[in-house]
Amino acid sequence: MSNIFLVEDHAFTRDGLRVAIERHQGLHVIGEARSGEEALEMLEEIKADVVVLDIGLPGMDGIETCRRIKQQFVETRVVMLTAHRLENQVLAALASGAEGYCLKSTDPAGVILAIQSAILGSAYLDPQIAHVVLGKINLPSPEGSVLSPRELEVLGLIAKGLSNKEIADQLEISLSTVKTHIEDILKRLKVSDRTQAAVIAVRQGLV
């Protein structure tokens, strides 16, 4: 069971997140806070695996809250939520150490996927805002890095936010085969995680 902590000042949004998360087996909302200050205080007392954090909090904003969480609770992962696609917010969230970045307008399944990716130690970037970082991250192009048709297919599904299991189900291949493909893709593209691979996929028009 993974413990999820919510930091959101709007009760309606917080309630919706709690309901969506609790519907998924293996996820449990262990606590909730309405501000960054309150969250940091509560996290001293309870152990959260993932903090779902609103970027637009009153007082201490989500960016600063994320920085402090990563400093004080090094094993806790953070998924950032925002209603905006502003470039400076996206880049600041990534720089603050957040493992995931989701738009509030996304389907609840996207938030769940971001949480699950964070639990597994992977990064997740909402495909709707991946373009924001295209010109800001110096990544190699897959041109010249020979990806097989199957690897290109897997890369496109990564960029759409699918989990390894969902990719395996859609392509009708084993989970271990998917993991091997992803390892090969990251190696050939010379990137370290799925988020960077997804950015390349968007740049190349694969999604």
Contacts of 75 (CB under 8 A, 6+ apart): none
Please tell me the pTM assigned to this model: 0.66
Residue 136 is predicted with a pLDDT of 52
Sheet holding 2-7, edge to edge: 27-33, 2-7, 50-54, 77-82, 100-103, 124-125
Integer CA distances (angstroms), 65 to 84, 86, 118, 132, 187, in order: 18, 18, 17, 22, 33
Same domain for 117 and 24? Answer: yes
Please give the tally of structural domains in the chain.
Answer: 2
CATH number of the domain at 108, please: 3.40.50.2300
Same domain for 10 and 107? Answer: yes
Instruction: Judge whether 144 lies within some domain.
Output: no
Instruction: Judge whether 143 lies within some domain.
Output: no
**Helix (H/G/I), strand (E/B), else coil: 199:** helix
Instruction: Judge whether 139 lies within some domain.
Output: no
CA distance 77 to 180: 25
Same domain for 88 and 159? Answer: no
Same domain for 111 and 166? Answer: no
Same domain for 47 and 118? Answer: yes
Residue 128 is predicted with a pLDDT of 74
Same domain for 105 and 192? Answer: no
Q: At what angle do helices 175-189 and 164-171 cross, to 10 degrees?
A: 110
Same domain for 101 and 38? Answer: yes
Residue 129 is predicted with a pLDDT of 73
Same domain for 33 and 97? Answer: yes
Residue 21 is predicted with a pLDDT of 95
CATH number of the domain at 176, please: 1.10.10.10
Same domain for 160 and 85? Answer: no
pLDDT in tens, the chain (207 residues): 999 999 999 999 999 999 999 999 899 999 999 999 999 999 999 999 999 999 989 899 998 999 899 999 989 999 999 887 666 677 677 777 888 888 888 888 889 989 998 998 777 878 777 666 555 554 455 555 568 888 888 888 887 767 888 899 999 999 999 999 999 988 888 777 776 777 666 666 554
Residue 88 is predicted with a pLDDT of 67
Residue 134 is predicted with a pLDDT of 52
Residue 60 is predicted with a pLDDT of 92
Residue numbers of the domain that contains 31:
2-126
Same domain for 14 and 116? Answer: yes
